[in-house]
Structure 1
Amino acid sequence: MTTLRFDAHVEQGPDRVWAVLTDVHTIPQWFPAVREAHSDGVHRHLRTPEGTLQALVVTKDDELRRFQYRFAEGLPEPIDFHLGTIDVLPDGDGSRVIYSQEILPESLAPLVERAVGAGIAGIARYFATHP
């Protein structure tokens, strides 16, 4: 299993960062690969240039500011295991966003690493341009 972890500091407070990152409709504004996103209450449906991903929401803990999801379908090969986690923590006058991924098979790791690396950079850009 491959574990990946990315993080970024943003100047906004944790409550505001949490509100943006857990609003499914804002995902295309900070995650470059996602063109459109919506939720059916259980899954998030993310449209990318390559197709549609379906992610099962596992955890949305407003107190801990932790969001977790599992890809259910849409990746280019079958998934044995996946867990994506976004944590928003206080960090000085701003927030630290930690975005991690656990994925199996390991052959999917480079794809996920590129996408989530762009996602964490997108989070930093979003909050730098939306004070």
Structure 2
Amino acid sequence: MAIVQHEISINRTPDEVWAVLGEFGGLDTWMDGVESCVVNGKTREIEIAGGMKVSEDEVARDEANRTYSYTVNGHGLPVDKWLSTVAVEAQGDGSRATWTLEMEPDDFAEGIAGIYKGALDTLKAHVEG
């Protein structure tokens, strides 16, 4: 099993960053390539540029610690486990946002985690405005 983690420092308070990253249905407001993101209960349906659709189920959320985890379904990849976790914590006068991927088998982990790194870069630009 592969575990890949990316993090980024953001010059905003943890609450400001969490207001964006913590919004399970808000990916289409800031993440490049996301055309739509619709939440029904604890499931979000994402449409990515080019028409690909992905379903993600929120499996854990801790508002006090600014973190949630989700599994990814309907992606078409031959993986048995795909668990992602996002988190925001204080770092000096700003924040650190982290996106962690656990995937089995690990064949696609680096590529998917690269998408998360790009998303964190976009998040930083969006939140810091």
TM-score, L = length of structure 1: 0.88
In structure 1, distance between residues paired with 2:29 and 2:8:
16
Which has the larger helix fraction? 1
Which blocks of at least 5 consecutive residues in structure 2 are unaligned?
none
Q: Deviations over 1:56-96 (max 9, x none)?
A: 101121011111100022x2323200110111001111111
Deviating more after overlay: 94-103 vs 43-52: 43-52
In structure 2, distance between residues paired with 1:37 and 1:15:
22
Deviation at 1:21, TM superposition (A): 1.0
- Give the aligned residue type for 2:103: I
In structure 2, distance between residues paired with 1:101 and 1:12:
24
Deviation at 1:55, TM superposition (A): 0.5
Count of residues in Structure 1 that have an aligned counterpart in Structure 2 = 128
In structure 2, distance between residues paired with 1:57 and 1:25:
11
Extract structure 1 runs of 4+ deviating beyond 6 A: none
- Equivalent position of 1:46 in the other structure: 46
SS of the residue corresponding to residue 121 of structure 1 reads: helix
- Equivalent position of 1:9 in the other structure: 9
CA RMSD of the aligned region, Å? 1.5
SS of the residue corresponding to residue 95 of structure 1 reads: strand
In structure 2, distance between residues paired with 1:24 and 1:99:
14
SS of the residue corresponding to residue 45 of structure 2 reads: strand
Deviation at 1:25, TM superposition (A): 4.3
Which blocks of at least 5 consecutive residues in structure 1 are unaligned?
none
Deviation at 1:35, TM superposition (A): 1.6
